[in-house]
Amino acid sequence: MLAGSLAFSFVKRGLNTIAFDADSSPNLALTLGLSPDEARKIVPLSENKSLIESKTSTGYSGIYRLSFSVDDVVRNFSVKTPFGVNLIVMGTVQSMGSGCTCPANALIRALMRHLVVERDEAVVLDMEAGCEHMGRGTARQVDYMLIVTDANSKSLEITNHIQTLAVAAGMKQVLLVGNKIGNDNQRILIEKYADKNSLDVLGFVPFDETVMESEMLGETPLKHESSKAIVATEKLCEKLMTKSNS
């Protein structure tokens, strides 16, 4: 929910916004207002064989081009969602530590670099635990890496792992967001963790029954703009905008 809500917040502030779903279980399309049928029709880039071949093929078996233009990919393969965000679904590829130079990986990395480095837009990358999908050169150009954690020991262990990867990749601004916070004890736990690990806390998103019910019904929670979680995400967006302009 957080990535979709943040992307929508940027749109409401007049920014052209691209959301890039790099999770192995993509659901950003549903959060951004597409129906399940519409979401199922989206072909992830890593599975778009004709696109991959057109970008990477040299005509020789086993030999691929690793340098090519991707500006047309955003134009032709992003999906306009009901909340004004342009969505690109990546699909599953190998991580940057695996040594994979397959054509799908080359396309994804080139596109990520194009989105982060070359375009003057708000770009929200929704990734699972880590930043392995992008090359280190691209990672260094990311303005902010938000690590989203619940207030439990397992989530905080994963947070530590992500922080280590982000720092190693050269990310300059790594911020913590507490998610689904139900009481002050949970907030304090995350604040103590952040202080111990030299992490700045961007803010907290409360546990919200409205969001849970929307997701249970297969609906987008973004239509409930007055819900506690959506209001909290708006505040996160304001903080990011203030940091960027300072």
Kindly report, residue by residue over 156-215, the tens digit of the pLDDT: 988 988 898 888 888 889 999 999 999 999 999 999 999 999 999 999 999 999 999 998
Q: Which residues pair with 149 in a beta bridge?
A: 178
- What was the pLDDT predicted at 115? 76
Which residues are CB-neighbours of 12 under 8 A, at least 6 positions away? none
All residues at 6 or more sequence positions from 207 whose CB lies less than 8 Å from its CB, including other chains: 180, 181, 182, 229
If we measure between CA atoms, which residue out of 44, 39, 106 comes closest to residue 70?
A: 106
Per the prediction, the chain carries an average pLDDT of 86
Alpha carbon distance 28, 81 (integer Å) = 10
Do 123 and 149 touch, CB atoms closer than 8 A?
A: no
List the beta bridge partners of residue 22: 127
Domain ranges in the chain are 2-128
Structure tokens at 191: 């604040």
What is the mean predicted confidence (pLDDT) over 77-84? 94
Q: Which CATH topology does 2-128 take?
A: Rossmann fold (3.40.50)
Instruction: Read off the pTM.
Output: 0.86
